[in-house]
Chains A and B, each alone.
Chain A
């Protein structure tokens, strides 16, 4: 078992009345597995993902339950242990490729960051590795991208750069938080294909968060459906698509646009 999440509750205390955004979240992931997490905006899917990535700071949110990654409980381990996992074993890509890169740093520097932190390496080794991962994410001219600033790249290219940066240490778990939402449809398909390739090549487990059910269907074997902080349904993707038990899941599936040609 790579990741075991049990009874995860997330509560925010920044208002007078505490607000719970995730209730009793359970998830098990094996190595090399792709799991989808779907739900509407505000259903708690991103919050669960941030908690798994160890990004919810302790004084912002109160978390109960267990998130066990390879035997280490992310909610209880010291920060140094957590930082040792982040970027090395667990990586994440975000929804908005426009803001997820530092505007004043060169792409190469940003792609290398996780390697610089986790692996003893010379600048030359890092550059070779960075160019290699940039090539793996199908960027045409990795050398040029390496020396560019984020504003010189398109949205699709930036998302590829993000994936490259996330993959530089070949992590075991990649969390993709709506990685395609801000991109146009053709680029979406390419990114999904890229994630599939990465999964196959490096046996990286992917937690794919989306509200686009058709993408989830293409990519994920298993899927969890969230609503209002609860997981309302979970199981194999095909079963859920063919015979949804919950009314909410039915509505979600009905909302997939269908092209009808006369």
Chain B
């Protein structure tokens, strides 16, 4: 009995299920929601769950399920966009500084240290203050704020790789620096990169929710999980469902992705 479960990768299975439970509705939510997310109804105000509205309605009588779907798709897209900006820019900068070293590396790394010494949420806050709030601005603000963490990870990999024999042989085959960096070394960094992308995605999701909770992220009437949590505070005791729905969604999304990051598929390759 014990052996049967020994080789099963529970992190992978549970992670996939949890991620799917949230991400599939989120993807659907990009194109379709059961009700209009902005349609208000005074008769349905703060109503509990029913067949028509499984998660009930909020303080404006808007369908919570629809808003959770739409909100998590916003969160999903911001998370993906942030990871994309951070990982691409971080990989480029990390590769160049790590591979070449020298003065440019020193300058970039000290700058990176400065960026690092601020919490990334605070950095994102500053960017939002400069660029204004809204989905796109939030995406860029978080994307830029998360670049330093990728730079550090990728740079370390390149510093390690640049003196390895396989890099020497690639150079000796006549490969240009660009080719050595992105064709020979980059595939070797994928393992650590995947992990930091998954962690980065989670951080971005939480940061988006946090900023929206504070009211400087996604702006109403657009749905956002963080925003919904903020709105539900007042009704926490008479309608806890209003907070539970977006809260659980957020937890399940982050938990699912971090379990995926711990799975053997990612760690043992």
The docked-state distance in angstroms from the alpha carbon of A218 to that of B173 is: 29
Contact bitstring A57-95, B, C-beta under 8 A = 1, else 0 = 001000000000000000000000001111110111011
Q: Which residues of the partner chain B approach A16 to less than 8 Å between Cβ atoms?
A: none
Q: Which residues of the partner chain B approach A122 to less than 8 Å between Cβ atoms?
A: none
Contact bitstring B157-178, A, C-beta under 8 A = 1, else 0 = 0000000111011111111100
Q: Which residues of the partner chain A approach B102 to less than 8 Å between Cβ atoms?
A: 59
Q: Which residues of the partner chain B approach A92 to less than 8 Å between Cβ atoms?
A: 168-169, 172
Q: Which residues of the partner chain B approach A87 to less than 8 Å between Cβ atoms?
A: 172-175
Q: Does B184 belong to the interface (CB within 8 Å)?
A: yes
Contact bitstring B179-208, A, C-beta under 8 A = 1, else 0 = 100001001101000000000000000000
Please determine whether A55 and B188 come into contact, CB atoms closer than 8 angstroms: no
Q: Which residue of chain A lies nearest to B187 when distances are taken between CB atoms in the complex?
A: A104
Q: Does A154 belong to the interface (CB within 8 Å)?
A: no
Q: Which residues of the partner chain B approach A90 to less than 8 Å between Cβ atoms?
A: 172
Q: Which residues of the partner chain B approach A102 to less than 8 Å between Cβ atoms?
A: 166, 170, 184, 187-188
Closest Cβ–Cβ distance, residue B162 to chain A (whole Å)? 9
Within 8 A of B (CB), among A81-123: 83-88, 90-92, 94-96, 99-105, 110, 113-114, 117-118
Q: Which residue of chain B lies nearest to A105 when distances are taken between CB atoms in the complex?
A: B187
Total number of B residues with any Cβ neighbor in A under 8 Å: 19
Contact bitstring B97-129, A, C-beta under 8 A = 1, else 0 = 000011000000000000000000000000000
Please determine whether B173 and A165 come into contact, CB atoms closer than 8 angstroms: yes
Closest Cβ–Cβ distance, residue B176 to chain A (whole Å)? 7
Please determine whether B169 and A100 come into contact, CB atoms closer than 8 angstroms: yes
Closest Cβ–Cβ distance, residue B125 to chain A (whole Å)? 39
Q: Which 7 A-B pairs have the closest CB atoms?
A: A87-B174, A100-B165, A87-B173, A114-B173, A102-B166, A86-B174, A104-B187
Task: Please report A residues at the B interface, Cβ cutoff 8 Å.
Answer: 53, 55, 59, 83-88, 90-92, 94-96, 99-105, 110, 113-114, 117-118, 162, 165
